[in-house]
Amino acid sequence: MKRVVVIGSGFAGAYAAKHLEKDFNVTLIDSKDYFEFTPSILRTIVEPFHMKKIQVLHNHYLRRAKIIMGCVHELREHEVILRNKKKIPFDFVIIASGSSYQLPIKEKEIVHATRAAHLRDYAEHLAESKKVVLIGGGLVGVELAAEIAEHYLEKEITIVHSRDTLIQRNHPKTIKYVTKFLGKHGVKIIFGERVNKRKGNVVFTDHGSKITTDMVILCTGIKANAEFMKKNFKKQLNERNQIKVNRYLQVLEYDHMFVAGDVTDRREEKTAQNAEKEASSVVHNLKDFVAQQPLTEYVSHKRPMVISLGKWHGVFEQNNVVFTGLLPGLLKSFIEWKSMRQYK
Q: Is the pLDDT of residue 82 over 80?
A: yes
For the chain, percent of residues with pLDDT exceeding 70:
95
DSSP of 293-322, one letter per residue?
Answer: ------------EEEE-SSS-EEEEETTEE
Q: Are residues 214 and 135 in the same domain?
A: yes
Q: Are residues 116 and 182 in the same domain?
A: yes
Q: Are residues 120 and 206 in the same domain?
A: yes
For the chain, percent of residues with pLDDT exceeding 90:
77
The whole-angstrom distance between residue 342's C-alpha and the CA centroid of its chain comes to 18
Q: Are residues 126 and 191 in the same domain?
A: yes
Q: Are residues 71 and 133 in the same domain?
A: no
Dump pLDDT digits (tens) for 111-165: 455 666 777 888 899 999 999 999 999 999 999 999 999 999 999 999 999 999 9
Q: What is the CATH number of the domain that holds 46?
A: 3.50.50.60
Is position 297 within any domain?
no
The total of structural domains in the chain comes to 2
Is position 272 within any domain?
yes
So what's the pLDDT on residue 110? Answer: 47
Q: Give burial (CB, 10 Å; 0-12/13-18/19+) of 229.
A: buried
Q: Are residues 228 and 140 in the same domain?
A: no
Lowest mean pLDDT among 144-153, 174-183, 216-225, 248-257: 216-225
The secondary element (H helix, E strand) that includes residue 28 is strand 25-30
Q: Are residues 132 and 258 in the same domain?
A: no
Residue-number span of the structural domain to which 203 is assigned:
112-221+304-341
pTM score of the predicted model:
0.89
Is position 295 within any domain?
no
Q: Are residues 212 and 231 in the same domain?
A: no
Range 38-52 burial, b when 16+ CB lie within 10 A, else e? bbbbbbbbbebebbe
Is position 195 within any domain?
yes
Is position 298 within any domain?
no
Q: Are residues 248 and 335 in the same domain?
A: no
Distances (CA, A) of 188 to 146, 159, 184, 291: 12, 6, 10, 57
Q: Are residues 191 and 312 in the same domain?
A: yes
Q: Which among 268, 272, 298 has a CA at the least distance from the CA of 169?
A: 268
Is position 170 within any domain?
yes
